């Protein structure tokens, strides 16, 4: 056994300077927005946002196995003030029970967030056209899940979180929310769009996006409308729940997103 350094404890009290290097495994993806990837092929995304008052808000909570890394990164960034989960799916609430930080969600996700079920009642995995993948998900979803979470409060469209505006993108889940910052046209959208092929568990070709597979949807038509709603914001950077940022060198992503809304 090596000597006890207490390095982790020290990080909690550290005042984070602006130019301090980021913790391991955390990358800056927009002004004041940091991405931590984890779990399966690094495909699960947790974001940290530094708000205008210096507050640190976490958007989404990945999978249970990311908890240790999540706590370490949050401490290194100076400590978490709030966790906002975009929706209650198992791979977006995974670390939330272990963070001991107030968790917020949209009112239409409260029931599923409190529920011990790792597979939402409206999901129909048999719709996935690759049968072994459908079976795999029946094991993966409970494995990913951190269990039920009691929300400390709710957020709805029009509310402000860490300098971002809350936007409701219902469809994939009833209370799915994203965060939008008009000043630099950055959108954190979670599963409003997929940058991965969920039926084959691999990334989509670079620059491609897709409405999530209907197997996951609460209301697939609404999910398509929500991708169009996102397109109409004319974002230049889309930060999703899975996969790398969608960014075509600052170009308007409107047309890419309209195409994405028609994929299923």
Q: Residues in the site for Zn ion, rule: CB under 5 A? A: 89, 191
Min dist. Cβ of residue 95 to Zn ion (A):
15
Nearest residue (CB) to Zn ion, 88 versus 233: 88
Nearest residue (CB) to Zn ion, 70 versus 86: 86
Question: Helix 254-261 crosses helix 220-231 at what angle (to 10 degrees)?
Answer: 170
Nearest residue (CB) to Zn ion, 213 versus 237: 213
Min dist. Cβ of residue 241 to Zn ion (A):
7
Min dist. Cβ of residue 12 to Zn ion (A):
32
Which is it for strands 153-154 and 103-105: parallel, antiparallel or unpaired? Answer: parallel
Min dist. Cβ of residue 224 to Zn ion (A):
15
Nearest residue (CB) to Zn ion, 145 versus 191: 191
Min dist. Cβ of residue 212 to Zn ion (A):
7
Number of H helices, E strands in the chain: 7, 14
What is the per-residue burial (b if ≥16 Cβ within 10 Å, else e) of 44-60? Answer: bbbbbbbbeeebbbbbb
Which is it for strands 103-105 and 82-84: parallel, antiparallel or unpaired? Answer: parallel
Token couple for 228: 């169009």
Nearest residue (CB) to Zn ion, 75 versus 172: 172
CA distances, 87 to each of 175, 181, 204, 211, 234 (Å): 6, 19, 22, 16, 23
CA distances, 54 to each of 43, 101, 169, 236 (Å): 28, 17, 27, 25
Min dist. Cβ of residue 52 to Zn ion (A):
29
Nearest residue (CB) to Zn ion, 19 versus 139: 139
- Can you tell me the distance from the alpha carbon of 37 to that of 25, in angstroms, rounded to the nearest whole number? 7
Please report, in angstroms and rounded to a whole number, the separation of the first and last CA atoms in the chain.
54
Nearest residue (CB) to Zn ion, 78 versus 214: 214
> Which residue has its beta carbon closest to Zn ion?
89
Cβ partners under 8 Å of residue 77, min gap 6: 16, 22, 23, 26, 34, 48, 50, 56
Min dist. Cβ of residue 258 to Zn ion (A):
21
């Amino acid at each position: 056994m090596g000597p006890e350094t207490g390095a982790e404890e020290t990080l909690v009290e550290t005042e984070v300077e602006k130019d301090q290097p980021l913790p391991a495994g955390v990358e800056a993806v927009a002004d004041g927005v940091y991405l931590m990837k984890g779990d399966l092929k690094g495909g699960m995304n947790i974001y940290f946002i530094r708000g205008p008052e210096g507050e640190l808000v976490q958007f989404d909570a990945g999978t249970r196995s990311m908890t240790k890394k999540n706590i370490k990164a949050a401490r290194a960034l100076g400590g978490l003030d709030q966790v906002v989960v975009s929706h209650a799916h198992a791979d977006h609430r995974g670390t939330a029970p272990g963070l001991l930080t107030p968790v917020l969600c949209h009112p239409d996700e409260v029931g599923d967030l409190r529920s011990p079920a790792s597979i939402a009642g409206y999901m129909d995995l048999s719709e996935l056209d690759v049968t072994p993948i459908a079976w795999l998900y029946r094991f993966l979803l409970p494995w990913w899940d951190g269990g039920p979470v009691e929300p400390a409060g709710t957020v709805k469209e029009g509310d402000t979180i860490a300098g971002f505006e809350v936007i409701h993108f219902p469809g994939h889940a009833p209370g799915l929310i994203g965060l939008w910052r008009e000043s630099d046209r950055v959108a954190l959208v979670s599963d409003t769009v997929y940058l991965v092929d969920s039926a084959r568990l691999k990334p989509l070709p670079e620059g491609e996006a897709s409405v999530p597979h209907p197997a996951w949807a609460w209301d697939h038509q609404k999910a398509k409308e929500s991708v169009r709603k996102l397109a109409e914001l004319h974002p230049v950077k889309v930060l999703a729940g899975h996969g790398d940022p969608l960014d075509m060198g600052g170009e308007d992503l409107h047309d890419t997103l309209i195409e994405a809304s028609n994929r299923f």
